Amino acid sequence: MHRLLALLAVPAVLASTVTVAACAGGDRSEPEPPTGATTLVLRLSELPGLLPPGGVATVAPRHSLFGDGRLISAASGPTGGWPQLRVDTVSTEDLRELFRTAAALPDEPGTAAPDGPVVQVVVGTSGGRRGVTLARDDAAATRLRADLARHSGGPPAPYEPPAVAIVATPADPAEPARPWPLPTLTGEPLGGTSAGSTCLVLRSAELDAARRAIEATDGDARWSSAGRVWQVAARPLLPDETGCADL
């Protein structure tokens, strides 16, 4: 099996939510999306076959849709070392349609070329979350990706996260490095595809200081902290995320 698929495949926590109508005949209605400003409806992430240093924790989801209709999307292409996010509003009817499309995806991981790019979709329901990982060119993944992109093409509206995770990965100690602008760089250890890296959540003034430093180098610099050299990646925390354990 494709190695990235094997690492990322998420067991189906539950089947698509089905509501049994109380009316006569017991007809089944379509599944309904969850509600709430911090409740995830669906998330689509595009992962390269060869993950960057720091693994999945460094890759901002391409699209995240929440129960209040907010669609937060990451820009594609170069971002100057700091992820650029935008927020759009999806109507109630379109949110319901996007949710049902995602909920209908198969539970089984798709097939992909060895070390090829994949799409990971997470669907939120009132009973939990389920996820599936598909080849990037999978027809169902392509349709869902296009539907989400269609809703993120309005006037630019930047999304400024209240917190950002800094994922630090050890780098070659012989490389030139700049002093990290804050007292510490390393945080809690990460696992999975991010094993070997650490994560530190920054807010307020510390977040602003880190952003200025990273953007000034286009994200390519190495940083020295605690006697070691590090490569860093900034990963904005989204409304349903509170810390490193959510990455």
For the chain, list the domains and their CATH numbers. Answer: 3-12+31-150 (3.30.1560), 163-241 (no CATH)
Cα(241)–Cα(222) distance, integer angstroms: 27
Q: Can you list the positions of beta strands (E) in 30-89?
A: 40-47, 63-66, 70-74, 85-89
Please report which confidence band the pLDDT of residue 204 belongs to, taking 50, 70 and 90 as the band edges. Answer: very high
pLDDT for position 132: 93
Cα(129)–Cα(127) distance, integer angstroms: 7
- Note the pLDDT tens digit of each residue in 116-172: 899 999 999 878 999 999 999 999 999 999 999 999 988 879 999 999 999 999 999
pLDDT for position 33: 96
Lowest mean pLDDT of 27-41, 51-65, 155-169, name the range.
Answer: 27-41
Q: pTM score, two decimals?
A: 0.86
Higher pLDDT, 119 or 24: 119
Does residue 64 carry a pLDDT above 60? yes
Please report which confidence band the pLDDT of residue 1 belongs to, taking 50, 70 and 90 as the band edges. Answer: very low
Angle at 245 between CA 191 and CA 14, to 5 degrees: 95
Percent of the chain exceeding pLDDT 90 equals: 75
Rg for the chain, CA atoms, rounded: 19
Q: What is the mean pLDDT of residues 94-100?
A: 97
